[in-house]
Amino acid sequence: MTETLNSQTSSSRRPAKLRIFSVIRPAWWGIAMMAIITWVLSNTLPTFDLYTYDSILLACMGAIALQVTLGTAGLVSVGNSAFLLVGAFAAVFALRAGIAFPFDLIFATIVAGVAGLIVGLPALRLRLLFLALATLAAYYLAVFLGNYYQLQVPSAASIGFEIPTMFNSGGFEGAGRAWAWLFFGCLAVIILGASRVMRERSGRALRMIRDHEHIAPTLGISVIRYKLTIFVLSSMVIGFEGALTAHFSGIISTSSFTVTLTFQYLAMIVIGGLDSIVGAVIGAVIVVGMPAWVPNVVGAVVGPSRATIVGPNVSLIIYGILVIVFVTASPDGFVGLLRTLRRRAFGLWIRRRPQIDSNTAAEVD
């Protein structure tokens, strides 16, 4: 009680400017910073690098959805590629049926949510490795259905479905800037929704289910409702990303969604840090940006001709090293490493503060 009163008194004594900073949630600060970065990069980057930045923004959506499912709720899912495929092919089906953009995105999101509900049913009884295998089986089922649908269309049987590219009026650079702002707007909404889920009562309930599932019902937490809700919501976000991917790439096929893509999303949240939106974003930047940036570094060493061959392999090696390093040395990922460094720096400052204060007092005397 005394500590609460002291904290309230100290907070009331803060200057008005500091109280304003404490009231605004970190998610809003992150969105504002991302808006500045998007404005700067969209006006300065060349076409290829801008395409990479657009791909990073797109990947952040699925990484955040997986972060809530695995990092916060503890539901081990390797079905990202499955829901991306469902969302992309649902958008293609809607477009071929005459449903124009952006209503095809809504249709794809709903279809992916239904698929997430079906896949989420095993999560009511399965955990950890068994749940991962169940979601992996869902991936192969989605690939089978996608191949069947693709083979029914003669024009798409070989290379996949072609979708008219959006934002053609401004050329490649203009299209890249338009995509960047569209992805930023969608990602901002997803960040606000995910932060609300992770910070409010639902976040505490999900962490209780993750750490003590058998005790959660005694606290009035409906395990079934929370698990299904998280699976449906995350699947809808990933399916929405898949539909956007179809419009962004212009050509979509089942070969675009591999098991490797699923494990890349897992690497994003492991490298960035579990149960953290910032960690998901950092992981997406590292995993998606590395294949585009590493060949430039490798090309300076082995030559431009071999960079295209050696670069992707070096990227995979770096992925593995980063996962091993963060799993062993910093299980909380890059965000956990930053927190540890911040605590140590603050501890050093606290230990040095009495000495500084005593020296200052001696100088005054």
Residue 165 forms part of a structural domain: yes
Cα separation, 189 vs 57, in Å, equals 13
119 and 31 housed in the same domain: yes
pLDDT digits (tens, 9 = 90+) for 21-71: 444 577 888 899 999 999 999 888 888 888 889 999 999 999 999 999 888
222 and 262 housed in the same domain: no
Q: What is the pLDDT of residue 244?
A: 92
134 and 247 housed in the same domain: yes
Q: What is the pLDDT of residue 11?
A: 44
Residue 162 forms part of a structural domain: yes
Report the half-sphere exposure of 243 (CA within 13 A, side-chain side).
29
57 and 80 housed in the same domain: yes
Domain end position, chosen among 214, 232, 257: 257
Helix 103-120 and helix 128-151, axial crossing angle in degrees, nearest 10: 140
43 and 179 housed in the same domain: yes
121 and 140 housed in the same domain: yes
Question: Rg of the chain's alpha carbons, rounded to an integer?
Answer: 23
Q: Looking at the DSSP assignment, which residues form a beta bridge with residue 161? A: 252
216 and 325 housed in the same domain: no
Residue 353 forms part of a structural domain: no
Residue 50 forms part of a structural domain: yes
Domain end position, chosen among 228, 257, 286: 257
Q: What is the pLDDT of residue 224?
A: 87
Residue 3 forms part of a structural domain: no
In 16-127, where does DSSP find H-type helix?
16-23, 26-44, 47-66, 80-96, 103-120
129 and 271 housed in the same domain: no
Q: What is the pLDDT of residue 9?
A: 44
Domain end position, chosen among 203, 229, 257: 257
Residue 339 forms part of a structural domain: no
Cα separation, 234 vs 284, in Å, equals 17
Number of domains in the chain: 2
Cα separation, 34 vs 42, in Å, equals 12
Q: What is the pLDDT of residue 22?
A: 44
Domain span holding position 66: 25-257
pLDDT digits (tens, 9 = 90+) for 102-125: 899 999 999 999 999 988 887 777
315 and 198 housed in the same domain: no
Q: What are phi and psi of 157, to 5 degrees?
A: -65, -35
Residue 145 forms part of a structural domain: yes
- Residue 215 CB coordination number (10 Å): 11
41 and 125 housed in the same domain: yes
Q: What is the pLDDT of residue 312?
A: 67
Per-residue pLDDT tens, the chain, 365 aa: give them: 444 444 444 444 445 444 444 445 778 888 999 999 999 998 888 888 888 899 999 999 999 999 998 888 888 888 888 999 999 999 999 988 888 888 999 999 999 999 999 888 877 777 777 788 888 888 888 899 988 888 888 777 677 788 877 766 555 566 778 888 999 999 999 999 998 888 888 888 888 888 888 888 888 888 888 888 998 999 999 999 999 998 888 888 888 888 888 888 988 888 888 888 888 999 899 888 887 777 766 666 666 666 666 666 777 777 778 777 777 776 677 777 777 777 777 677 777 665 555 555 455 55
DSSP class of 247: H
Residue 65 forms part of a structural domain: yes
79 and 145 housed in the same domain: yes
116 and 222 housed in the same domain: yes
* Closest by CA position to 166, among listed 243, 55, 250: 250
Q: What is the pLDDT of residue 12?
A: 46
